[in-house]
Structures are given as C-alpha cells and as structure tokens.
Amino acid sequence: MSQVDFTDPATIAELTAALEAAGVDGLEIERPTQGVRILLARGRSPIVDRTAEDRSAVVPASFVAVKAPMAGEFLSHDISRSAAPEDHPQEVESGDVIGFVKVGPILLPLAAPASGQIVRHVAEHGAIVGFGDPLFEIEPRS
Amino acid sequence: MIEVIETGPFNTVQDLGRPGYRKIGVTASGAMDPLGLKLGNLLVGNAPGAAAIEVQTFPFRLRFTGAVVFTVAGADCGAGLDGHPLLALCTYVADKGQVLDLGQPRTGARAYVCVAGGVDVEPVMGSRSTSLRGAFGGNDGRYLRVGDTLSLCAATDGHRARAGISVVDPAFALSDHLPVSDDGSLLIRALPAGEHDLFGNDADRFWTETWKISSKSDRTGYRLSGEPIRPTTPVEMRSHGVVPGVVQVPPGGEPIVQMSDANTAGGYPKIAGVIDADLWRLGQARIGSRLRFVRATHREALDVERAMARFLEDVRVTSAMVTRALNIMA
Amino acid sequence: MNASLAMPTSSPAALQLTRVGARVSAIGARAFLLEALGEFDLASQRRIWALSRAVEAWEDLSEIVPGMTNLLVIFKDIPEDPEPVVTRIMEAWEGAQSIDLDGKTIEIDVCYGGEHATDLAALCDRSGLSDREVVRIHYEATYRVFAVGSAPGFGYLHGLDPRIYMPRKTVPSINMARGCVTIGGMQTGVAVLTGPNGWNSIGFAELQMFDPSSPTPAIMAPGDTVRFVPVRVEL
C-alpha cells in the first residue's frame, strides 16, 4: 500500500475538500512517522498542522484499540435500524460490529479486530470523534 | 461474474426501467423499489440506475466468480456471505468463489444485489431491465434460473469502491416526510384521479378503508381486497395511457394499483394516483399486508419528492467523499 | 366558455379542468390526461395527433401516450404548480388543428378461419352473417392506426364495419397466440403477444409487429393505413 505524503499540498487540499463536503470540522491522521491535523474554520483557510515526530501507542500493548476510521459521530448502535441495546456487550468475536461512525447519512461500521472482552468504552454514544480517536479497548482472548 | 445457484421463481435483472416507449406499448419496467436500487448503487460507486438483481422470491443464492464489491439493498433479508451475516445496505468485498445467500425478508419484500459496475446484460431500448411482458431485456427477457451466469460491467472510472460503507435506513432518513399509522397499516399518499368524484360516497370510503394486498399481486400491479367500491353510474372509458401508481377500479369494485410492469394502457375508471415518492414503499409492501390511502396535495407530492432527491444527493456526495478519504488513508 | 378548475385546498379536490370538447385530469403529480369528449371518430383522433405533435416539442416533457381520442402527458419532473400545466395542455388542445398523419400503408397477409379463428362462429351468430361474409367485410375495409399501445407494437385499428362489431369477451381466452387477427368492440388488431386476450379471433397473420432490437421496434405508427390481404380462407 502506498504511503500518502501529507507534505503534499494537493493531498491536503483533497482532504480539506472532502471534509467540507461532509460537513466535518476537523481531521487528524496519525502515522508512526508522520501526522496531520486539519481543522476547518468556517469562512477561513483551513488550519493545517503537520507533525513528524515519532508517536508511541497509548494503549497497553496487550490491548487492542478500535479507532475511528474517520471523523464523525460515534454511535454505539445503528440508530436508524435498531433501538438502543439494554447494555453493551462485553464479549465480542472478531468481526462483530461493535459500533458505527456516522458521517452525514453514511455509516461506517466498526468491527472488532479480535475476539475478546471490551475493557473500555472510550467514546459516548453520540460523541463527535476525530480520525484515529480510540473508541474501544479490547483485551484479546488468549 | 455471478452464478445463480438457488432462486425462487420470480427474480429478475432490473435497472430504473425504459420509460419513453409507452406510446408503442412497451412497459417501462424497472425496480419496484427504485430508492433501494439507487442507494445500493451509490454505495458501490455506480450510477444510481445501474442494473442489479431484484430478488422477490426467496431463498436466493449466488456465487461470485471473481472478487467484487457488492451490497444488498432494499428488504432486510438476513443476507450472509459464506454464512457470515451481513449488515443491510453495507458494502462488502466478495472473493472468488464466495456465496451470497438471501433469506426470507424480516422487513420489506424485495432485495437488490448491487455490484460495483452493475450487472452487464445487453441493453434493449436503453435499459437493462427485464421486460417480462415483452420477453426481452434483462437476462433473456425472463426470470432468473439456477445456473444462469451474469457478467458485470467494469466499475466506474476513478471510483474505487470499498468494503464497510453503509447508509442509514431510508425510512429513518426521510421520517419527517413519511406518514405513520397507529395500527401498523402502511399509509400511501395519492392524489384523486379523473373518475374519483363519480364514486360518490364510495370515494370517501376509498380513503378511509383499510385495504389488503391480495395474493394476486405482482410486479404488474397490486390487487387490493376489501369492501368493493363502485361508481354511482357505470362509466364507459376509452382506452388511455396509464402510469405506475394509477389506482383503477374494475367492475368487481376492488382497486388495482399499477406497479413497475404497469400496462401502458387501461380503460377502468381511475380513482387515484399514488405519488411517485411513495411507489418504493408500496414496492416493499408484502402480499397480505394492509394499507390505507392518504389523500395528499400536489404540494405535498412535490415536497416529499424533493426531500428524497436531497437525501439521495447527500448519500451520493458523502459516500464518494468517505470512500475517497478512506482509500487515501488506507 | 364553460371552465371549471378545482384546486386542492384544505380538503383536496380532484384537479380537473373541463372545457367544451375536452377534459384534463391528473394521474399522480406529473402525468395529466386530456380526453376529447366528442365522438370516437377519426376527426377527434386527428386532433389528438395534432396535439401530440405540439406537446412533443415541450422541453419539460418526459413522454406522451396517445390513446383513443385522448393523450397522456407525462412530465420529467413534478411541476411546481399543476394549474398552469393543466391550462397549457388545454390550450394546446384548443389550438390543435385536425391533421392527417402522413402514414405508410401496411399490407398484412391473413389466413382467415382455421384453428386460430376461435371466435368466428360466435361472430356469425351475433351478426347473422355467414363466415364468408364476415371475412369479406373484414378484408375489404381500409383501416387507420389510431394509436399503438397496450402491448409492444399493438396497433388499435379504426375503420371496422359496424356489421361485424363484437364486444370483448367477458371471459378472455387464456392463451391466444401472437398473430391472431382480432375484433374488440368497434376496433380490430393483430395480437402481438401470446397470452390472455379478451378480443375475438377470426384469423391469423404471420407478420412480426414488434422487434425490440430494431431502431424502430414497432411496425405500426399512428396514422398508418392497414389493409388485410386474404392469402387463405379456411372455412
């Protein structure tokens, strides 16, 4: 998979246009060696903050974090098709859909990357989340 | 390619139909739930009117003979890929040899299997829809059978469809514009048509009665059963053009709503015309279910049409943007 | 002028405009039917042909469906306000002069009688004519295609001799063959699909009326002249 160069103004412009189209106010992309944060201030030029320092994981190595694939509204369930569940499932199988990020009418299902136990619900249902924000922490079943 | 490995008797290839040929007697055909078809196509990066498989008799199973992005739109029929349950209206990548199966719908009546690129059958008179009446178009002008194979068109340039893109339920998105009854009956909005007033008091009853969709209903039309309604005096009509949504009343007094495979001409007195924006909801109504007609105004028909167009445009723009952004970041 | 235009108010009434000679009503929000109120005759149909020509030039038009002394006008989009649209259709009707279409002449070879003439005997009973007379009256007339519709390429033919008018059957034939030469009320035509059919069959024609792969799929067009040629009579 090719790496995206966040120092390229064309890439920034593309991402910025996409954000505006979605009505999203900001985006943060992190890579081990490179990161970018775009904040849209309505009516002003986007504020772009590039960082290049090494970033280290914040989650304990044994846990798996589920991060937002994109900026949007975090949903613990598909509000358009089902009522709120009584309580959050704790035991999940790899591939189970454990939540969604909603961007306008589009839903991005969040699949559990591993079987195990959800040890932390980081985001509240309805919270606005940024790209890469941790949403869940899963302790994989050994 | 797609290979049909199990099918009910009445499943076809459909797009948005071939309007424009009614004047030579050719039914427009097209998806019974055009909104579902459009949403499915937009998610996989197709033009809204790309051809798909309309499944109205279940179970249905197909095998993908190559990797392709697809989604199942319309009725929620507990679809599974190699046995793994799929979300409704969500894109997935099928690998070569994987089997998609659709079970009895939990809600709705018709599901659409939309694949990136769309189903490639020879267009006839500008459409890939199956014309059952004319026995042309679609897959040889007939219902799909076990063993049929369908080619796929190349996916749209510049759009790399990907898995994991879903859309909110259209009934949720449009809830401000959809009437809901308190007894579970489907409420279908219609405008009075030419012979409405000739039905006298029965015209009022048409709007208040709860009608049942009879088993003699298909893509051509829905026959409704209930207390018959009749004009106050017999009406002699000359044959005239009709469109899907027209509600005709044959001598027996039980109305018929013409649907996607509507005859191009008719001569029964017509009491009402269902607004276009509610035809997809009728297309998802099941045989045996109940409905009432709600008398709408032209303005309401226009407002809900525009709300639907806005929703579709929002889905088109946002799904393309999200897909592009995720592709960049992948 | 006797005009009445009822518009939806709080309790919506049927949108309808009736003037001398014609009526316009709605089917849904973007289809409108103009019906000529006069006789079912060639003069009325000629005016429908003229109206069709005028309406076909409208940019907001999706399609038209000419029927029997009527015209269905389908717009691309739901009009902002239906009232001016209904008025526009009515005014186009009022301005439509009777025209005669420059149609072609189609000769159709027919085998009268035989296995496909399932309703010839009933027609003889009703008319009091012999089968030979019924057949001769049918092929001696010259017909005009009033409209094409109902089934792909089916032409409604006007010009049937009143002596052989025959109402449609109350119980349709379950599986009438494509090609059957039929009489339905005061019209005649050639069945283009095999299937249920309420018209009365008196013969059979081989001519294929519809080819979906052709740039002009329907052989018949409104205004065409049709003659039936008796190539065989099996009585």
* pLDDT surpasses 90 at A14: no
Whether the CB-CB separation of B164 and B91 falls below 8 Å is answered with yes
- For chain C, domain boundaries: 4-95, 105-234
Q: Do A106 and B328 touch (CB under 8 A)?
A: no
> Chain C residue closest to B198 (CA)?
C14
User: To the nearest whole angstrom, how far is the Cα of C130 from the nearest Cα of chain B?
Assistant: 30
Chains near C with 3+ CB pairs less than 8 A apart are B
C-chain CB neighbours of B274 within 8 Å are 28
> Chain B residue closest to C219 (CA)?
B24
Q: Do C29 and B191 touch (CB under 8 A)?
A: yes
Q: What is the pLDDT along chain C (235 residues), one digit of tens a residue?
A: 334 444 443 345 678 898 878 999 999 999 999 999 988 899 999 999 999 999 999 999 999 999 999 999 999 999 999 999 999 999 999 999 888 888 999 999 999 999 999 999 999 999 999 999 999 999 999 999 999 998 999 999 999 999 999 998 888 888 999 999 999 999 999 999 998 899 999 999 999 999 999 999 999 999 999 999 999 999 8
- Please tell me whether residue A49 adopts helix, strand or coil conformation: strand
Chains near A with 3+ CB pairs less than 8 A apart are B
Does A40 lie at the interface with B, CB-CB under 8 angstroms? no
* CATH 2.40.50.100 residue ranges for chain A: 64-140
Does A108 lie at the interface with B, CB-CB under 8 angstroms? yes
Q: Do C26 and B196 touch (CB under 8 A)?
A: no
Q: Do B321 and A22 touch (CB under 8 A)?
A: yes
Q: Do B265 and C28 touch (CB under 8 A)?
A: no
B120 secondary structure, DSSP code = E
| Nearest of B218, B7, B245, B28 to residue B113 by alpha carbon | B7
Q: Do C156 and B21 touch (CB under 8 A)?
A: no
Does A11 lie at the interface with B, CB-CB under 8 angstroms? yes
B-chain CB neighbours of C82 within 8 Å are 298
Does A105 lie at the interface with B, CB-CB under 8 angstroms? yes
User: How many Cβ atoms from other residues are within 10 Å of residue B72's Cβ?
Assistant: 29
B-chain CB neighbours of C80 within 8 Å are 302
Q: What is the ipTM of this complex?
A: 0.96
Q: Which two tokens stand for residue B176?
A: 């401000």
Q: Give bridge partners of residue A38 from the DSSP assignment.
A: A27, A48
Q: In whole angstroms, how far apart are CA B278 and each of B15, B187, B305, C33?
A: 18, 9, 9, 21
Q: Which two tokens stand for residue B67?
A: 């990797």
Q: Do B25 and C15 touch (CB under 8 A)?
A: no
Residues 6+ apart with CB under 8 A from A13: none
- Please tell me whether residue B276 adopts helix, strand or coil conformation: helix
User: How many Cβ atoms from other residues are within 10 Å of residue B249's Cβ?
Assistant: 26
Write down the mean pLDDT value for chain C.
92
Length of chain A: 142
The pLDDT tens digits for C133-151 are 999 999 999 999 999 998 9
Whether the CB-CB separation of B228 and B252 falls below 8 Å is answered with yes
Q: Among B53-57, B122-126, B236-240, whose mean pLDDT is lowest?
A: B236-240
Q: Among B198-202, B282-286, B324-328, whose mean pLDDT is lowest?
A: B324-328
| Nearest of C74, A32, A14, C108 to residue B320 by alpha carbon | A14
Alpha carbons B244 and B28: distance in angstroms, whole number:
9
| Nearest of C102, C80, C60, C58 to residue C222 by alpha carbon | C102
> What's the CATH number of domain B178-296, 2.40.50.140, 2.40.100.10, 3.40.50.140, 3.30.420.40?
2.40.100.10
| Nearest of A124, A22, A24 to residue A74 by alpha carbon | A124
The tally of CA atoms less than 13 A away on the side-chain side of residue A37 is 8
The predicted pLDDT at position C3 comes to 41
Q: What is the 3-state secondary structure (H, E, C) of chain C?
A: CCCEEECCCCCCCCCEEEECCEEEEEECCCEEEEEECCCCCHHHHHHHHHHHHHHHCCCCEEEEEECCCEEEEEECCCCCCHHHHHHHHHHHHHHCCCCCCCCCEEEEEEEEECCCCCCHHHHHHHHCCCHHHHHHHHHHCCEEEEEECCCCCCEEEECCCHHHCECCCCCCEEEECCCEEEEEECEEEECCCCEEECCEEEEEECCCCECCCCCCCECCCCCCEEEEEEEEEEC
What residue type is A30 in one-letter code?
E
Give backbone dihedrals phi and psi of B238, rounded to 5 degrees, phi first. -90, 145
Continuous segment of H or E residues that includes residue B329: helix B298-329
* pLDDT surpasses 50 at A62: yes
Do A and C touch, 3+ Cβ pairs within 8 Å? The answer is no
What interhelical angle do A9-22 and B298-329 show, nearest 10? 150
The predicted pLDDT at position A142 comes to 73
B-chain CB neighbours of C69 within 8 Å are 238
Continuous segment of H or E residues that includes residue B76: strand B68-76
Alpha carbons A37 and B215: distance in angstroms, whole number:
59
Alpha carbons B75 and A131: distance in angstroms, whole number:
32
Whether the CB-CB separation of C56 and C50 falls below 8 Å is answered with no
Q: Which two tokens stand for residue A48?
A: 């772009």
> Chain C residue closest to B26 (CA)?
C152
C-chain CB neighbours of B24 within 8 Å are 148-149, 152-153, 210, 217-218
The class level of CATH for A64-140 reads mainly beta
Give backbone dihedrals phi and psi of B208, rounded to 5 degrees, phi first. -100, -25
| Nearest of C185, C184, C207 to residue C197 by alpha carbon | C184
- pLDDT category at A137 given cuts 50, 70, 90 is very high
- pLDDT category at B292 given cuts 50, 70, 90 is very high
**Test mutation, B72, B76, B166, chain A, max A CBs within 10 A:** B166
The class level of CATH for C4-95 reads alpha beta
Burial class from Cβ neighbours inside 10 Å (0-12, 13-18, 19+) for residue C89 reads buried
Average pLDDT over residues B10-21: 97
Residues 6+ apart with CB under 8 A from B69: B44, B45, B91, B92, B93, B94, B115, B116, B155, B161, B162, B163
For residue A18, give the nearest of B165, B166, B325 by CB distance: B325
The predicted pLDDT at position B235 comes to 83
| Nearest of C188, C206, C193 to residue C110 by alpha carbon | C206
Does the domain at residues C105-234 carry the CATH identifier 2.40.100.10?
Answer: yes
The pLDDT tens digits for B84-129 are 999 999 999 999 999 999 999 999 999 999 999 999 999 999 999 9
* pLDDT surpasses 70 at B314: yes
The pLDDT tens digits for C180-226 are 999 999 999 999 999 889 999 999 999 999 999 999 999 999 999 99
Q: Which two tokens stand for residue C154?
A: 């089916």
Give backbone dihedrals phi and psi of C186, rounded to 5 degrees, phi first. -100, 15
The predicted pLDDT at position A56 comes to 43
C-chain CB neighbours of B124 within 8 Å are 212-213
Sheet holding A35-39, edge to edge: A26-30, A35-39, A47-51
Alpha carbons A8 and A29: distance in angstroms, whole number:
14
Average pLDDT over residues A108-116: 95
* pLDDT surpasses 50 at A43: no
- pLDDT category at B193 given cuts 50, 70, 90 is very high
**Test mutation, A14, A107, A133, chain B, max B CBs within 10 A:** A107
The predicted pLDDT at position A100 comes to 97
User: How many Cβ atoms from other residues are within 10 Å of residue A41's Cβ?
Assistant: 10
Alpha carbons C49 and C142: distance in angstroms, whole number:
19
For residue B194, give the nearest of C33, C150, C212 by CB distance: C33
A-chain CB neighbours of B166 within 8 Å are 78, 100, 106-109
A46 secondary structure, DSSP code = P
Alpha carbons C148 and C103: distance in angstroms, whole number:
13
> Chain A residue closest to B43 (CA)?
A106
Give backbone dihedrals phi and psi of B311, rounded to 5 degrees, phi first. -60, -45
C-chain CB neighbours of B258 within 8 Å are none
Whether the CB-CB separation of C198 and C217 falls below 8 Å is answered with no
Q: Do C72 and B242 touch (CB under 8 A)?
A: yes
The predicted pLDDT at position B34 comes to 98
* pLDDT surpasses 60 at B144: yes
Alpha carbons B302 and B22: distance in angstroms, whole number:
24
- For chain B, domain boundaries: 2-168, 178-296
